[in-house]
Amino acid sequence: MENTGTIRLGDENFEFPIIEGTEGEKALDTRTLRSKSGCITFDEGYGNTGSCLSKITFIDGEKGILRHRGYPIEQLAENSTFLEASFLAIYGELPSEAELTKFRTEVQTHASIHTGMHHHFEGFPSDAHPMAILSAMLNSLGAYYPEMSSNDREQDLAHFDETAALLISKVRTIAAMTYRQKQGLPYVFPDHNRRYAENFLHMMFSEPYNLYSDTSGAAAALDLFLLLHADHEQNCSTSTVRMVASGGANLFASVSAGVCALWGPSHGGANMAVIKMLEDIHASGDDGSRFIQDAKEGKAKLMGFGHRVYKNYDPRAKILGISSEAVLEGLGIDDPLLDIAKHLEKAALEDEYFVQRKLYPNVDFYSGILLKAIGIPVEMFTVMFAIGRMPGWIANWKEIAENPKSRIHRPRQIYTGSTIRDYVQMDER
């Protein structure tokens, strides 16, 4: 294939270079299209548009491939931990033992929240959505670390390593404190002797008279859940983080915006919607067959199914399906929702409507069953997704911040409103 492409507009040809990625993906570099032709491209939803060059994550949606810095997600799930995978996503290499110990110590050091922020929680109504609280608290966090949230790019980068560890640590603490505040329970301070996921479960569920004890492997399952959510190239929330970062905003503001983007039911909110869908099906006495029919008739959406990029099985869903079954078995829980989920999956994978549209289970399909088995309340599910995605958001912010040629993201549009007209006085309207 030539390394240029031609666009013909009317009777004129315009030639553009072709960019090729390390995995053979090709893009027509149309950065000079408007200056050369006066024309722009139109790609609502950006399904055919690359917004950046990135080295962090590679997805082949047709083949169901997901790799972080070249490492297949299946190998990371098998051999790594959330913190190790976070280091890989952010810094580009698996850490040495000394590097991982240093990173883990930095994360442990930053586990607590400034007591001034405790009052912020009290300002929210008890039924405030945890994602609203998380986004607000992450942005507020920057106010306590002005040296890391200066919006002076050089200064913010000089503090990057500490800011990254601090956010990975405190997003977990903020989530646990949100839960405790909404339950009317006293906050549980972090226990530096516990690893990342277990410390979160400790801060969520320990009581003075009964400290959390991980007897069922829940911490390992949660660590795997978080690892599987670590990054996913230019999804809606990560692209939002890059959009905000492109204007020069600090990391706190950028990830706070990422939380808002993740909240929607088409994106990270889907894991909550999956559980609600399964509970509704269970309550109706349906085994899922009626629901499948409704989805085919456009009356319902099979939440946790379908993906803009994966036109094959989401590899994370496969791993989460196995892990959720193992956790339920370890806890001795016989959850009817798992049976319904497996029935839905089987029925959909055999049904022409889903096969023709290449709709497969995505990361959200089984994750809710796993989180529910661990004891996480449904309204916190998307917060758990945000905790997992934090390293990916940080890694993408770093790529923007470290690129001296990075430009502010400012898409064009096609105007379809009223053409010019004169002002109409009130008595003539």
- Contact residues: ligand SDX, CB under 6 A: 232, 235, 266-268, 270, 295, 301-309, 357, 359, 362-364
Catalytic member of 223, 231, 335, 364: 364
Whichever of 235 and 324 has its CB closer to ligand SDX, that residue is 235
Residue 27 corresponds to which tokens in the numbers above?
């893009």
Sequence-separated (6 or more) residues with CB below 8 Å from residue 37: 7, 9, 12, 14
Minimum CB separation of residue 374 from ligand SDX in Å reads 20
Closest CA to 248 of 348, 157, 172, 115: 157
Whichever of 198 and 364 has its CB closer to ligand SDX, that residue is 364
Minimum CB separation of residue 290 from ligand SDX in Å reads 14
Minimum CB separation of residue 323 from ligand SDX in Å reads 16
Q: Phi and psi for 8 in degrees, rounded to 5?
A: -105, 120
Minimum CB separation of residue 44 from ligand SDX in Å reads 10
Block residue for tokens 């470290």: 402
Q: Phi and psi for 243 in degrees, rounded to 5?
A: -60, -50
Whichever of 163 and 235 has its CB closer to ligand SDX, that residue is 235
Q: Are strands 65-68 and 12-20 parallel, antiparallel or unpaired?
A: unpaired
CA distances from 422 to 418, 427, 429 (A): 11, 15, 12
307 is catalytic: yes
Whichever of 71 and 187 has its CB closer to ligand SDX, that residue is 71
- Three-class secondary structure of residue 355 per DSSP: helix
Please give the Cα distance from 287 to 285 (Å, whole number): 6
Residue 194 corresponds to which tokens in the numbers above?
């516990």
CA distances from 155 to 148, 252, 272, 395, 404 (A): 7, 14, 38, 17, 14
Whichever of 198 and 314 has its CB closer to ligand SDX, that residue is 314
Q: How many helices (H) and strands (E) would you count in the chain?
A: 19, 6
Please give the Cα distance from 180 to 187 (Å, whole number): 6
Please give the Cα distance from 117 to 110 (Å, whole number): 14
364 is catalytic: yes
Residue 162 corresponds to which tokens in the numbers above?
């500490």
Catalytic member of 307, 314, 335, 427: 307
Angle 78-83-86 (CA atoms, 0-180°, nearest 5)? 95
Block residue for tokens 């509970």: 279
Burial state string for 125-148 with b = 16 or more CB within 10 A and e = fewer than 16:
eeeebbbebbbbbbbbbbeebeeb
Whichever of 145 and 225 has its CB closer to ligand SDX, that residue is 225
Asked if residue 194 lies in contact with residue 202, where contact means CB atoms within 8 angstroms, the answer is yes
Minimum CB separation of residue 289 from ligand SDX in Å reads 15
Whichever of 30 and 235 has its CB closer to ligand SDX, that residue is 235
Q: Position 171: which residue type?
A: V
Minimum CB separation of residue 76 from ligand SDX in Å reads 15
Minimum CB separation of residue 218 from ligand SDX in Å reads 22
- State the residue number with the nearest CB to ligand SDX: 306
Minimum CB separation of residue 85 from ligand SDX in Å reads 14
Q: Among all residues, which ones are annotated catalytic? A: 307, 364
